[in-house]
Structure formats: structure tokens, C-alpha cells
Structure 1
Amino acid sequence: MRPKLSLLLGSLLITSANSATAATGCQKGERCTMVVYSEQSDTWQVINKARAERAFSPFSTYKIPNTLILLEQKKVNAESSYQVNTKQYPPEKWWPKTWLASDINLKDAFHYSALPLYQTWTNDLNKTNIQRHLDTFNYGNRDIAGPLDAFWLNSSLQISAFEQIDFLRRLDKKTLGLSEQTYQTFSSIFLKEHTDEYKLYAKTGTGPIAKKTYVGWYVGKIENKQGTHYFAFNMYAPTFREMVKQRVNKAHATLEKLNIL
């Protein structure tokens, strides 16, 4: 049975998450994992390795490969503004106001996880092309047998934290069979935060995988004076609200503990 979209808010940014009380990092034995690979020093840091090897639904972290495919197929571009097709995807009460704007650009659609926009865009693709790209990307289990507009939402597509890192590294090495323009455009979309000390590229993703069990992702990379550090974090929470309160803060606390952020 296909899950309700209200339970599949992949990575809606809720500002209260940033103002939550100080979080503790992921600890050994907790229901979470963090994997960090530091390119320049060729070192791995892993918390809860068994969980890091376990594949989960990517939820809105799939917007990383999805956006690359959409750019490469010229279904979207960074200069245009977009609006949700409310006839195809009627608004629901839980939708954030940002999804109903008439001028959503691609970067905002990516970071605010405008699910109905991405579903509409994905419907303009076909599974043959998507499969070809995901095979080239070697993205997770590459299984898109689920619905065309939802196979990444607690459906057939699955990926582990280690596999997230592998994919991000090959993205940076530009070995995904994409055009230079696609790589450059996506880099500007992926960038989340830029300070004097670092650049943070990140994507969240959250959704239910069982009763009272949500999995939350935070994946990306940090560029600082020590080089490039790829990271993939996931955790459990009993509700979407609890996940949003904890996910990014806990991931950042873990990256600080590992002297990455």
C-alpha cells in the first residue's frame, strides 16, 4: 500500500530545528550512525559500523541524484521559476507555504524539499533513462521498481551510509557520465552554507519505515582548511516532529566531535 505523502516530507526545513537545545552527537550503541571520509588524509571515521552498512530508503537525499538527472535531461534549470501543479498534486493542510509560492527556484525546491514539484518533474522522465543514470551512478541498490514518483519514499530504492559517501565522492570526481554544465550547476544548488572557515554542502531526508519509526538522513560534504570531508548520518526517531528537532543538530554535534565542523 502506498504511504500517504503527509508521512513522506523528505527534508522540509523547519527553522525550529536550528533553535533547539544543544544536541549531543551520535554515540556508539545508539540508533544512529555517522560515516566521514576525509579525502586529503584518506581516513575514515565511523560510528556504529553495522548500521552504516545497512541500507535504508533515501527519502529526500535522493534529490541529489534526481536533480542531477533532471539537469542533464534539461527538464529543469537554475534560472527559471516554478510552481506546483495543484491539479496533479492537490494541496494538503500539512504543506508548507513555500510549496505554494508561484516563483520557486531550483535551489529552494531542493533545500525546502518541494516534493510535489520533484514528483511532477520526475513524471516527465521515464524509468529507462532513470535506470540508466542510476546504474552509471551505482546509486544504492539502483532498484526503481516502485512508483515513478515515489520509488525513493520508503519503497524499492535503498542506500547505506557508506554508499552515500561513495556516490558523493564520484560526484566530485565527475565520473557520473554527466556534462560539465550539470556538475557546475548542481554544485551551486548543493551549497548550503559558506563561511570564512568552511563550505557546507548538505541534504536532509526523512520518512517513516515502520510504525513509530522514522529514519532521518543528513548527507553531504564539508570543505575546510584540512580538505574535503564527505559525511553521511542517519538516525531513528518516533515521529517526524522529533526527527526535525534532532536530526541536523545531532549530525552537526557529531561532526564537531570528530573535528570536521
Structure 2
Amino acid sequence: MTPLQAQAGAPRTHVWKAEALFKGIPGTMIIKNAKTGEQYVYNPKRSMERYTPESSFKVANALIGLEEKAVADEYEVKRWDGVVRQFDVWNRDHSLASAMRASAIWYYQAMARDIGSEKMQRDLDRIGYGNRDISGGIDTFWLNSSLEISAQEQIAFIEKLVKETLPFSEQNMKTVKRIMIDNDQDDYTIHGKTGTRLSDMGLGWYVGYVETKKNVWEFATNIDGSGSTARNITLEGLESLHIIDPPDAEPEK
């Protein structure tokens, strides 16, 4: 198991010596037990620093879009506008669910425009999402722009989603949790969303939660790198804590 050190004054928070997982990449990772509040934090200082959410904001955007009826449900399709973008999987029609899986930015930008600045600001204020600053433009504020959030704040947001205590309808929260499913195995289900600063690949996120047979664990990782790398580090972290089982791993703790 990766070495842990109990943090003074916070008996259920462990400073996590996870340098081996990050391999020299600057970053932070939090993994928190939704039932007990016990959490493991690598690089606590960075975990409190705010960064732009990039496509990890799609989780909040989907919730707000459903709540404000900018989309009817996870199946509502928006037609591709014919503009060829950098990833082939973006260059087609998408639904709310498929655009989450493909991280098709254009779909969520169009939905944000349909939501509008007034409703978007109101809902970000209601859920307390990061610095709540949408001044960077209704369809760009989360993309290397004005909106920023810390890993600790991401965990707080995901925890409310897990427990369905956000100020949204139960049905909409369940829908978003369902379309976040990233890996569904016999022993666990991971609900997660990556985010990458596409201009230089210099910031990556992976946020979400994993359901096991015994517990629910929330996670938030950001690094100086891509979202896919943040995802890989998170999975290795979950394995190192025996929350999910790699080949020949010990049973879940």
C-alpha cells in the first residue's frame, strides 16, 4: 500500500505519499469515503488551489442543462454543424450522454448558450461551484478562462451529487450519474469525467466516484498534463488503496 501519514488535527484525513503514482508530474489527488468521510490527499497544498475545470465542468453543465430544460433528457440530439474539429468523434451528431462520453465540447457549448448567462450564473451560485465566475463568456468560461475550482471543491460538489443533495431534481441527478459511467465491472462501477486544457495539454482533471460492493469513494485529481493521464493516475491510486482490484490484488479494504 502507498505510505500514508495521519494529518494533525484531522484524524480521518491522511497525507498520502503517492509520489510513485505521479512519476514526477506535478499534481494532486483526493480519494474520499462517502460514508465515513475518511480521505487520502496527495499534495494537500495543491488540492486547495483553483484551476480551470475544462471538460470536468460537463458534469455541472449537464445538471444545469437538464434542470433549466435546455435539453429534455440524456437522449436529446444536437445536430453536428459541419465544422470539422480536432477529434473525429466530435464530428457527428451527439446526445447529452454521448457528448459526455466523447467529451464533445461543441454540444455542451451549444447547451450553455441555450441555458443563458442569467440562469447559468444563478445555478452556479446555488451549487457554489468554485469561484462561480462566468465572465469569460457563456460558451467558454470553463475552458482556460474565468471559472476556476479546486480539487477539494470538486470533491464537495461530487459528494453532493452522490448523496443527491444538490438543488436539482432527483431524476436529473440520477441521469447525470448514469451518463458519467466510465467503467462498469462486476465488482465496481466508476462514474468519472476527464478534463484537459486542449491549448497546451498543460492541465488535466479526472473527477467522479466509484461504487463498490461495500462503499462509495469520491475522487478528484488534477495534474500538469492531460485528463487521460490524470485518469490513469487515479485508477492506479484506487488500486493502491485496494478500493478497486488490479490483477492479483488483495480484497477491498
Q: Same fold (TM over 0.5)?
A: yes
1:112 aligned residue = 102
2:69 to 63, 67, 74: 74
Counterpart residue type for residue 202 of structure 2: Y
Shift of 1:213: 6.4
Kindly tell me: are residues 245 and 191 of structure 1, through their superposed partners in 2, closer, same or farther at Cα, counting changes over 3 Å? closer
Gaps of 5+ in 1: 1-23, 238-242
2:39 aligned residue = 44
1:246 aligned residue = 229
- Secondary structure (helix, strand or coil) at the match of 2:210 reads strand
Kindly tell me: are residues 244 and 42 of structure 1, through their superposed partners in 2, closer, same or farther at Cα, counting changes over 3 Å? closer
CA contact (8 A) 2:63 2:172 kept: yes
User: Is residue 2:251 matched to residue 1:260?
Assistant: no
Aligned partners of 2:206 and 2:123: how far apart in 1? 23
- Secondary structure (helix, strand or coil) at the match of 2:224 reads strand
1:25 to 21, 26, 32: 21
Aligned partners of 2:178 and 2:32: how far apart in 1? 22
Kindly tell me: are residues 84 and 188 of structure 1, through their superposed partners in 2, closer, same or farther at Cα, counting changes over 3 Å? same
Taking only the aligned residue pairs, the percentage that are identical comes to 36
User: Is residue 2:91 matched to residue 1:91?
Assistant: no
CA contact (8 A) 1:85 1:120 kept: no
- Secondary structure (helix, strand or coil) at the match of 1:226 reads coil
The answer to which structure, 1 or 2, has the higher relative contact order (CA under 8 A, 6+ apart) is 1
Counterpart residue type for residue 79 of structure 1: Y
CA contact (8 A) 1:85 1:117 kept: no
CA contact (8 A) 2:204 2:229 kept: no
Counterpart residue type for residue 208 of structure 2: G
Shift of 1:225: 2.5
Question: Which digits, 9 at most, give the CA deviation of each residue in 1:191-222, with x for residues without a partner?
Answer: 2222111010000001068xx66110001001
Counterpart residue type for residue 101 of structure 1: R
CA contact (8 A) 1:221 1:230 kept: yes
Aligned partners of 1:215 and 1:143: how far apart in 2? 19
2:164 to 171, 174, 177: 174
Aligned partners of 2:130 and 2:30: how far apart in 1? 16
2:203 aligned residue = 215
Provide the alpha-carbon RMSD of the alignment: 1.9
TM-score (structure 1 length as normaliser)? 0.80
- Secondary structure (helix, strand or coil) at the match of 2:149 reads coil
Aligned partners of 1:199 and 1:110: how far apart in 2? 17
Gaps of 5+ in 2: 1-19, 245-253
Aligned residues: 224
- Secondary structure (helix, strand or coil) at the match of 1:153 reads coil
TM-score (structure 2 length as normaliser)? 0.82
Question: Which digits, 9 at most, give the CA deviation of each residue in 1:32-53, with x for residues without a partner?
Answer: 1110110223201001111111
Tell me which stretches of 4 or more aligned residues in structure 1 moved more than 6 Å: none
CA contact (8 A) 1:26 1:251 kept: no
Aligned partners of 2:33 and 2:88: how far apart in 1? 38
Question: Which digits, 9 at most, give the CA deviation of each residue in 1:44-96, with x for residues without a partner?
Answer: 1001111111110000000000000111112222233322224xxx324x2x2
